């Protein structure tokens, strides 16, 4: 856009007053206003030409500072920043759909926003990595089947349950870059049952399970099963407390000490596969229940809040162990399961997710549910 004197001369030629003269300041004011407008336009153009990259860089630096991220090289830093920017764009597009009422949950950036989705799944989701191994292992006469859950008769189940409000749930934990989700699901269920029996809420050691239950089919940071862990605890005579056997997030040698045991179990109960009503009854009458879900969808990685429903989520492709601590119905009428995850408080709704309930066993939440007997 030209902002020079030629057009001002043309203005004078084509707009000479023919009648009584007006105030001599009119033309001067017009010219001054054009000059100011051109200056403002130049400023806007200059700012817009650099602001996007600067904004991304500023957000990236804040992200690294908040989550204590460090990379081995400048090349990796730029690579991770690109992933971060792409994930933020995906979040913005999804949340625009949420505002239009097209989806029932929101997304947000979190500490995993610098990870490609496939590497995130490979790192964090450690439930089904040992299933094939277990089929052969338990052909040797070892029985891992639990007792079968039977719903209590003539009991009116409450419309809403939240075991956090009853003091049966420990704080959100963080598995780090270790596929040990199964161990957190196990301890969460046993912590709750121990609380119901004793009145004391004791945080139990996931590291104990990672290090010591390999002979039961678990593979530490490379995956495991909650039922395997319940069986180990029973045979072992207990599990140490978190305080005496703290979490490391890596495979280590077994250091179980019976003097530091915080709880034990005498077996476990399996909820009939795929039956959400039975799962509801178990959660309402027994307490928090260990479940396996399909957490392989990209939307799950950056979940923020709302009732999670992804049409691509499978009832069979189970890859992540979590803990159902309640259920209910939100203000929009969406039935949900209240689920405790083990990815820290910055993920989801302070570490929790509401997953769609009564939607044909969405994400397989009732496909492999169990709890320990104490």
> Residue 41 pLDDT > 70, yes or no?
no
Looking at the chain, which runs of residues are DSSP E strands? Answer: 105-107, 147-148, 161-162, 239-240, 261-263, 267-270, 289-293, 303-308, 320-329, 335-340, 352-356, 370-373
- What's the mean per-residue pLDDT of the chain? 87
Fold of 106-373: Cathepsin B; Chain A (3.90.70)
| CB 107 within 8 Å of CB 302 | yes
Tens of pLDDT, residues 73-102: 999 999 999 999 999 999 999 999 999 999
Tens of pLDDT, residues 203-257: 999 999 999 999 999 999 999 999 999 999 999 999 999 999 999 999 999 999 9
Tens of pLDDT, residues 300-349: 999 999 999 999 999 999 999 999 999 999 999 999 999 999 999 999 99
Q: What residues contact 321, with CB distance under 8 A and at least 6 apart?
A: 126, 127, 181, 182, 183, 184, 185, 186, 224, 225, 226, 290, 291, 292
How much is the pLDDT for 37? Answer: 52
How much is the pLDDT for 53? Answer: 75
The CA angle 308-311-317, to the nearest 5 degrees, is 90
> Residue 353 pLDDT > 70, yes or no?
yes
How much is the pLDDT for 6? Answer: 42
SS3 labels along 135-175:
HHHHHHCCCCCCEECCCCCCCCCCCCEEHHHHCCCCCCCEC
Provide the annotated active-site residues: 181, 320, 341
Rounded Cα–Cα distance for residues 171 and 347 (Å): 14
Q: What is the pTM of this model?
A: 0.83
Residues of the chain with pLDDT > 70, as a percent, come to: 81
Tens of pLDDT, residues 9-30: 333 443 434 443 333 333 344 4
């Amino acid at each position: 856009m030209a902002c020079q004197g030629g057009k001002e001369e043309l203005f004078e030629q084509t707009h000479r007053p023919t009648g009584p003269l007006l105030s001599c300041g009119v033309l001067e004011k017009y010219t001054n206003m054009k000059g100011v407008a051109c200056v403002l336009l130049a400023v806007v153009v200059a700012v817009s030409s650099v602001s996007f990259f600067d904004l991304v860089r500023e957000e990236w630096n804040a992200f690294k500072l908040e989550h204590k991220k460090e990379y081995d090289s400048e090349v990796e830093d730029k690579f991770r920043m690109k992933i971060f920017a792409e994930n933020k764009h995906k979040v913005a597009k999804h949340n625009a759909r949420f505002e239009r009422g097209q989806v029932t949950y929101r997304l947000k950036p979190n500490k995993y926003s610098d990870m490609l989705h496939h590497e995130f799944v490979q790192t964090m989701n450690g439930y089904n990595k040992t299933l094939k191994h277990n089929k052969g292992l338990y052909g040797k006469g070892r029985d891992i089947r639990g007792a079968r859950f039977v719903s209590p008769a003539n009991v009116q189940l409450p419309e809403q349950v939240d075991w956090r409000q009853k003091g049966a749930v420990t704080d959100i934990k963080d598995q780090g870059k270790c596929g040990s989700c199964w161990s957190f699901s196990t301890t969460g269920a046993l912590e709750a049952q121990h609380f119901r029996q004793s009145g004391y809420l004791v945080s139990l050691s996931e590291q104990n399970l990672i290090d010591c239950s390999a002979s039961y089919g678990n593979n530490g940071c490379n995956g495991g099963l909650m039922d395997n862990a319940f069986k180990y605890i029973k045979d072992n005579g207990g599990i140490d407390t978190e305080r005496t056997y703290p979490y490391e997030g890596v495979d280590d040698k077994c250091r179980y000490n019976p003097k530091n045991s915080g709880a034990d179990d005498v077996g476990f109960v399996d909820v009939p596969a795929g039956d959400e009503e039975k799962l509801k009854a178990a959660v309402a009458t027994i307490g928090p229940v260990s479940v396996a879900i399909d957490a392989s969808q990209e939307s799950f990685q950056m979940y923020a809040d709302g009732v999670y429903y992804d049409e691509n989520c499978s009832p069979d492709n189970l890859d992540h162990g979590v803990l159902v601590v309640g259920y209910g119905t939100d203000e929009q009428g969406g039935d949900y399961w209240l689920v405790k995850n083990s990815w820290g408080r910055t993920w989801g709704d302070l570490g929790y997710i509401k997953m769609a309930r009564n939607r044909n066993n969405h994400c397989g939440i009732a496909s492999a549910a169990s709890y320990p007997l104490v």
